[in-house]
Structure 1
Amino acid sequence: MSRRAAVSRIAIPLAGVLVLTACSSGKQQSDSLQVVANPVAATAAVSPAATAKPAGQVLTAPSVVSTAVDATSHSLVVAVTEPPSLRIYDVTAAPVERATIPLPAPAERLTASPGQVLASIPGKGLLARVALPGGQLTTTPVAGQPAAGVADGPRTLVAVRDRKAIEVLSDGKVTKTITGDLYSADDVVTTGTGVVVLDRLRTALLSVDVGTGKLGAGLRAGEGAANAVADDYGRVLVTDARAGALLAFSADPLLLRQRYPVPGGIYGIAYDAKRHLAWVTLTGRNEVVGFDVRGGEPVEKFRFPTVRQPDSVGVDDQDGRVFVGSAAGEGIQVIQP
């Protein structure tokens, strides 16, 4: 059975999904998805003091903003704030720090693909590309505040928050700018069957037609969409930080397939393609949970206590190890489920 067929078989359409419609006047007041007068992006719930010892091993590190794993080079990359830099670890066996790459300002989001990691640096209007495992750094200027980037074949797609746009880069140059009915462009995800942009202010997903350079249909993504990742069934998994839920959308067509309640301050997310596990962090409980997402609804398989304020998570889908970053400066946690 094809993956597209598998998605159809396990899909559970939900009633009451609101379709995002364009506003001919350009005014936010006419937007049916705007539920408050002054929308604010969802943030991680503040963690309480830890009451349980973190599972696994904890590596010393300052405040961690984002984590990403490139299994092909056996590299863990961690963005830290003080000083702004990327730490690269060899995770072939026990993690060993390989290099520290200074940055001109803090990175916001890391996205790994075979042999590289992309780091958005909104404070300097840059997208950084780091070759792995060596750590060679190149930067590309991006007008505005690049919030996230993702490799899409030979192209790179960059979500630019303040300009409400997706920049399409080829060979380090902007070849296309995609704009439309966005309040902010906070992340861009490619599934292999489609591309979507996450708008945190609107708490919505919108489909992106890179070929035509246009935004397509949009859907409300819960009450406070925070982070998103692609799985290997052509879906986009989204954490709803306000309502406490894990959402699953097909990307082509853009449809809400599942909504599964996850209390405890769900926020960070990573996906293990080999084991079909979505790992999410619960910042309100200092926990990380692994859900099997192959069936009609997520099934909890693992739950571990974490470092305090576990805002970010990464996973090595070769051996299944999970890496949790503490935004409170309590280190990088390494868990072997």
Structure 2
Amino acid sequence: MRRRAVAVVPVVIGALALSACAPDRTPSDPLLVGDQLVAPSPAVSPPSSSPDGTVLPLDGPARALALDTATRTLAVAVDAKEIRLFSVDSPQTPPRVVPVPDKVTSLSPAGDGALFAAIPSANTLVRLDVRTGGTETSTVEGAPSGATVVNGQTVVSLRNRNAVAVLDGGKVTREITGFFAPTAVLRGAENDALVLDSNRTALIEVNVAEGRVASALRAGDGATNAVTDRFGRALVVDTRGGELLAFSPSPFLMKQRFPVPGTPYGIAYDAKRDLAWITLTERNEVVGFHVAGGEPVEKHRFRTVRQPDSVAVDPDSGKVYVASADREGIQVVQP
């Protein structure tokens, strides 16, 4: 498989320009790929066929997945308004169940054995202490879609407010505008956060300390999910374009663009092995790419459960966890 040629055109836009174009969804924005602002979705998967590894039963579709390495716990958000906590070392043991106000759409690391759970329908961000199962709930208007921590402050993407909120002590202290539909936020370099804007299909660098948008780059034809690696790069899945994109933090540039056919969607990163695991929703597969070199190199490929929208990886053992959004459970694969 040959790499698609990389054509990188940096688009650096100041905060005022971004803010000006956001409210009316102006299609002339240089980051937009077309006139319609429609976020991409995973493919509707075909029936699964003999998934590799083992499959843990789950009585419902999984909506989000995260693995906390400090507590060795796999967290799974399900439609029943709860988060289930499985022991990575004993996954067959019945999980602990943590009730939440409504359906969780994303789970992300909060540090020190905790996870953030975004609940957009309830305008709520939950910080879950994985060790105790205790929760702290913050009201964040605007449909929170993701969260991370930057210099001790919680940064939350707000899909319905076209903004990013900064929380201190669980309270919103500031909002940064200039987005179309921020769906995820990652910790960037130093004082920065990286915001994935799925409608604009752009990756946007935000200076949290100064409360402003720093710069922005197009992220393929339809970016959906992203993680950061140990080099500080953002690895972004372009679902609509069928690619894996890599963005360097300093300078902020797209460095790699690699074809991944099969409607890629979920992504997880193994820092010990430099493997990016990507689910292919059109094929019911998960693929592991080594990403430390000049271009990604495929190392593993496994059959999965149907509708593999979420994936997580345990860097200690290398085990990969794939969650079905179609009630087929949680798959565990040892490469």
TM-score range, shorter chain: over 0.9
Query: Is residue 23–residue 30 contact of structure 1 (8 Å, CA) maintained in 2?
Result: no
Moved more, 249-258 or 70-79: 249-258
Q: 1:25 to 1:280 in 2, by over 3 A?
A: closer
Residue 53 of structure 1 is matched in structure 2 by 50
Larger CA deviation: 30-39 vs 227-236:
30-39
1:187 corresponding residue in structure 2: 184
**2:157 pairs with 1:159:** yes
Contact 2:193 2:207 in 1 (8 A): yes
- Match in the other structure for 1:305: 303
Matches within 5 A, 1:228-243: 228-243=226-241
Picking from 203, 207, 213, the partner of 1:205 is 203
Deviation at 1:259, TM superposition (A): 0.3
1:238-297 deviations in whole A, cap 9, x for unaligned? Answer: 000011000000123321000000001100001111111100000000000111100000
* Residue 145 of structure 1, aligned match among 143, 147, 172: 143
Q: Tell whether 2:243 aligns with 1:251.
A: no
Runs of 4+ in 1 over 6 A off after TM superposition: none
Matched, 1:64 2:62: yes
Q: 2:87 aligns with which of 90, 98, 101?
A: 90
Contact kept, 8 Å, 2:311 with 2:323, in 1: the verdict is: yes
CA distance 1:237–1:123, change in 2 (3 Å): same
User: Structure 2 length normalisation: TM-score?
Assistant: 0.92
Letter in 2 for 1:166: V
In 2, are the aligned partners of 1:313 and 1:325 still within 8 Å (CA)? yes
Rounded to whole Å, the distance in 2 between the matches of 1:197 and 1:138 is 24
Name the structure 2 match of 1:5.
none
Decide whether the 8 Å contact of 1:42 with 1:226 is kept in 2: yes
1:96 CA displacement: 2.5
Query: How far does residue 38 in structure 1 lie from its aligned partner after superposition?
Result: 2.2
Question: Which residue number in structure 1 is paired with residue 216 of structure 2?
Answer: 218
1:125/1:146 contact within 8 Å kept: yes
* Paired position in structure 1 for 2:35: 37
Find the counterpart in structure 1 of residue 327 from structure 2. Answer: 329
Distance 1:136 1:285, change over 3 A: same
Q: 2:56, 2:331 within 8 Å by CA — same for their partners in 1?
A: yes
TM-score, length of structure 1 as denominator length:
0.92
Q: Confirm or deny that 1:174 pairs with 2:177.
A: no
Matched, 1:17 2:9: yes
C-alpha deviation, 1:30, in angstroms? 2.8
Do the aligned residues in 1 keep the contact of 2:33 with 2:221 (CA within 8 Å)?
no
Aligned to 1:295: 293
Structure 1, gaps ≥5 residues long = 1-11
Which range moves more in the overlay, 232-241 or 108-117? 108-117
Distance (Å, rounded) in 2 between the aligned partners of 1:190 and 1:25: 25
Alpha-carbon distance in 2 for matches of 1:191, 1:97:
36
- Structure 1 residues 262 and 24, CA gap change in structure 2 (3 angstroms): closer
**Residues 1:107 and 2:99 aligned together:** no
Distance 1:129 1:115 in 2: 10
The answer (yes or no) to whether the contact 1:225–1:238 under 8 Å persists in 2 is yes
Is 1:124 the counterpart of 2:122 in the alignment? yes
CA apart distance, 1:134: 2.1
- Partners of 1:13 and 1:258 within 8 A in 2: no
Distance change in 2, residues 1:177/1:299 (3 Å): same
Which residue identity does 2:246 align to in structure 1? A
Tell me the distance in 2 between the aligned counterparts of 1:268 and 1:128. Answer: 22
Distance of 1:314 and 1:94 partners within structure 2: 14
Match for residue 3 of structure 1? none
**Residues 19 and 177, structure 2, Cα contact 8 Å, conserved in 1:** no
> How far apart are residue 24 of structure 1 and its match?
8.1
C-alpha deviations, 1:291-322, integer Å up to 9, x for none? 11000001111111000000000111111111
Output the CA distance in 2 between the equivalents of 1:95 and 1:117.
22
**Paired residue for 1:135?**
133
Counterpart position of 1:263: 261
Q: Is residue 286–residue 308 contact of structure 1 (8 Å, CA) maintained in 2? A: yes
- Deviation per CA, 1:99-144: give whole Å up to 9, x if none: 1112221001000233011100000000011101221112100011
Give the conservation status (yes or no) of the 8 Å contact 2:73–2:87: yes
